[in-house]
Amino acid sequence: MPYPKPTRRSWAEPWKVKMVEPIRMTTRPQRERCIVEAGYNTFLLRSEDVYIDLLTDSGTNAMSDNQWAGMMLGDEAYAGSRNFYHLWEAVTEYYGYKYLVPTHQGRGAEHILSKIMIKPGDFVPGNRYFTTTRLHQELAGGTFVDVIIDEAHDPANEHPFKGNVDFGKLQRLIDEVGAKKIPYVSVAGTVNMAGGQPQSMANLRALRELCSRHGIPIVLDATRAIENAYFIQQREEGYRNKKVAEILKEYCSYADSSTMSAKKDTLTNIGGWLATNDQGLFEEARNMVVVYEGLHTYGGLAGRDMEAMARGIVESVDDDHMRARIGQVEYLGQHLIDWAIPIVRPIGGHAVFLDARAIYAHIPQSQYPAQALAADLYIDSGVRSMERGAVSAGRDPKTGEERFPKLELVRLTLPRRVYTQAHTDVAAESVLAVYEQREQARGLKMVYEPKYLRFFQARFEQI
Task: Point out the residues that are catalytic.
Answer: 78, 130-131, 221, 264, 388, 455
User: 218 or 446, CB closer to ligand PLP?
Assistant: 218
User: 188 or 427, CB closer to ligand PLP?
Assistant: 188
Give, in order, the Cα–Cα distances in Å from 111 to each of 91, 123, 181, 279: 20, 16, 19, 18
Minimal CA–CA distance to 334: which of 434, 421, 227?
Answer: 421
Smallest distance, Å, CB 399 to ligand PLP? 25
Q: What angle do CA 40, 352, 199 make, to 5 degrees?
A: 125
Residue nearest to ligand PLP as judged by C-beta position:
106
Q: What angle do CA 345, 351, 357 make, to 5 degrees?
A: 55
- Under DSSP, the state recorded for 346 is S
d(CA 444, CA 460): 6
The 3 state secondary structure assigned to 112-131 is HHHHHHCCCCCEEEECCCCH
User: 110 or 166, CB closer to ligand PLP?
Assistant: 110
User: 49 or 221, CB closer to ligand PLP?
Assistant: 221
Where on the chain is the footprint of ligand PLP (CB under 6 A)?
58, 105-107, 130, 132-133, 188, 192, 221, 223, 261, 263-264, 272
* In contact, 112 and 289? CB cutoff 8 Å: yes
Give DSSP secondary structure letters for 211-251: HHHHT--EEEEGGGHHHHHHHHHHHSTT-TTS-HHHHHHHH
User: 81 or 103, CB closer to ligand PLP?
Assistant: 103
The answer, yes or no, to whether the previous bond of 346 is cis (omega within 30 of 0) is yes
- C-beta atoms surrounding 447 within 10 Å: 11
Q: Which residues contact 353 (CB under 8 A, 6 or more apart)?
A: 155, 195, 196, 343, 344, 388, 407, 409, 410, 411, 412
Smallest distance, Å, CB 260 to ligand PLP? 8
Smallest distance, Å, CB 266 to ligand PLP? 11
User: 342 or 415, CB closer to ligand PLP?
Assistant: 415
Give, in order, the Cα–Cα distances in Å from 206 to each of 203, 213, 347, 352: 5, 11, 25, 29
* In contact, 391 and 370? CB cutoff 8 Å: yes
3-state secondary structure of 163: coil
User: 163 or 443, CB closer to ligand PLP?
Assistant: 163
Smallest distance, Å, CB 87 to ligand PLP? 15
User: 34 or 193, CB closer to ligand PLP?
Assistant: 193
d(CA 102, CA 295): 9
Q: Which residues contact 212 (CB under 8 A, 6 or more apart)?
A: none
Residue 152 falls in which region: left (phi positive, over 0), alpha (psi -120 to 50) or beta: alpha
